Each structure stands twice: as C-alpha cells, then as structure tokens.
Amino acid sequence: MAKGGDSIHIFQGLLVFGNVVIGMCGIALTAECIFFVTDPHGLYPLLEATENDDIYAAAWIGIFVGFALFALSILGIAGVIKSNRTLLLVYIILMLITYAFEMASCITAATHRDFLTPNLFLKQMLERYQKSETDNNNDKWMIKGVTETWDKLMLQNQCCGVRGPSDWQEYTSAFRIMHSDADFPWPRNCCVMDAQGSPINLDGCKLGIPGYYNSNGCYDAISGPMNTHAWGVAWFGFAILCWTFCVLLGTMFYWSRIEY
C-alpha cells in the first residue's frame, strides 16, 4: 500500500513519542506509589484494623505496573523503529496485560476510597483504642496499631476523637471500660499538653474549658492523606491509561500495516 515515506516516518515518530511519555509516566507512577506505600503519615494501622486497606493494594499494583510500563515502552520504541512484527506483537500483548492490571488498580483505589467514612473510623476507635482484653494475636496487633496511631494523631494534630471529644462522651467504648468517666472524660492526649508531655491543667481538660482541651476532630487529619493517596493512584493511573489507549491503538494499526 502506498503510504509515502514521510507519513510513515511521522507516524513512527508519533508512536516513539507516545512510548517515551508512557515510559516516563511509568517511572512517575512507580515513584508515586512507593511514596504512598511507605505511609508517611502513619495511618496504615487504622485501615488495617478496619480491614479496608485495599487502597494500599492498589498502590502496590501501581508500583509494578509503573515499572512494566517503563520496560514495555522501551520495547515499543525498539519495535517501531525496526518495524519488527514480532517485537510489536509481543509489545501489544504485554501492554494489554499491563493495561488490565492498571485498570484494576485504578478502580480499586477509587472504589475503596468510598468506604473510608467518619463512622468507620469512629467505630474502630471506640472498639479498639486501649482495649485491654485481646481475643487473639491478630486482635492484639490491631489494638496496638490503633492505640499508637490515635495517640500520635491526637498529639501531633491537636485534635480529639473523629468528630470531636464528644465522641468519647456519646458512645461507650473499650476505653470507657478501663477508665472512669470522672477521671477520663476523654483520653489524656485530648488535653493541651505542655513541653513535657503532660496536660497543662487536668481539671480544665476534664471540664472542657476552652484552651485546655482539643475541641476539633481528627477526621480531617485522617481523610486528607487518604484522599491524596486514593485519588493520586486512581486519577494518575486513569490519565496514563487514556494516553496508553491512544498509543496502543496507533501501534496496532502500525503493526497491521507492516509488510513483511
């Protein structure tokens, strides 16, 4: 078929450019997902306890998909420049498989973000924070994770509870079983602390006097990083897949037109 040498070269150039972008995006996706998996905010124990940690699974898939995209883009560039049918067929098939995995990662991240509601964290906090009787080792591990994470959250973000300190007053909890309401209307970490890590005035904190206890909830501090994580994986992956779709269609067309 007469296509003219120039238009073929232009098409080849476009495909090579497309693959270069895919390679760079693959590296970026790997880096982004590694960042999310390392959990810089230390919120993973909360998700692990809610048994809803699939946004981390999506990030793990993203790491490997990103690396695969990078490797396949190099294969694609070689195949297009050499106009080699076998190379390009291998490229197309492996890209389709990678495409499927990345699609799974995006959908998982987007879907499981929806499950992370304030009520979910509230229930976990009330049921596990400083719970004293453990059923088994798994329970003990989750309790330890939840307790340490909440203590750190409340201390670093100067917040209390999920929606506010009233969470501890409105609901009974594992914490309430161990600590009497008269002494601990809410955990000590809800009090404003001095430099040594003890409340500046305990009676003020117990009575709820403004300035001596943290009156805002921690949900913003939790949902902010979670949203960034989930949307970062889902939407960046979606963008990569849209671009890869175009490049793949172009490569399939190019492959079907190569003459032996």
Partner 1 sequence: MLSPWVVLAFCCLGQLCADQSVKPHLAAPHLATNNPTLTTVALEKPFCIFDSSLRPNKSYIIYLYAMKESASAISSLVTDNSSKPLDSTFQQTSGGQLGPYKAALFSVPNCASPPKLADVGDVNKVSDVLKQYLFRVGDDGTCLYDPNFLAVCNPPLAPDTTYRFKYMLVDSTEGIVKDQTLWSDPIKTRRVRLPLKIDTWPGRRSGDMIVITSILSVLVFLLLAGFLASVSSVVMGSEDSSAETKCMSRTIQQSEPAPQLSSE
Rounded Cα gap, residues 250 and 170, in angstroms: 60
Q: How far is the CB of 9 from partner 1 (least distance, A)?
A: 21
Return the DSSP state at 213.
B
How many residues does the structure list for the chain? 260
**Sign of dihedral through CA atoms 57, 59, 63, 66?**
positive
Total of residues contacting partner 1 (CB under 8 A):
58
Stretches 59-67, 68-76, 149-157, 203-211: which one binds partner 1 (CB under 8 A)?
Answer: 203-211
**Shortest separation between residue 121's beta carbon and partner 1, angstroms:** 9
Binding of residue 235 to partner 1 (CB under 8 A): yes
Diameter of the chain measured on Cα atoms: 89
Among 133, 148, 181, 220, binds partner 1 (CB under 8 A): 181
Handedness of CA 218, 220, 222, 223 (dihedral sign): positive
> Which residue, 152 or 176, has its beta carbon nearer to partner 1?
176
**252 interacts with partner 1 by CB under 8 A:** yes
Cα distances (angstroms) measured from residue 177 to each of 14, 117, 239: 67, 25, 49
Residues 109/59, Cβ–Cβ less than 8 Å: yes
Task: For residue 224, state whether it binds partner 1 (rule: CB under 8 A).
Answer: no
Residues that bind partner 1 (CB under 8 A): 92, 96, 99-100, 103, 106-107, 110-111, 113-117, 119-120, 122-123, 126-127, 165, 169-173, 176, 180-183, 185, 200-201, 203-204, 206-213, 215, 231, 234-235, 238, 241-242, 245, 248-249, 252-253, 255-256
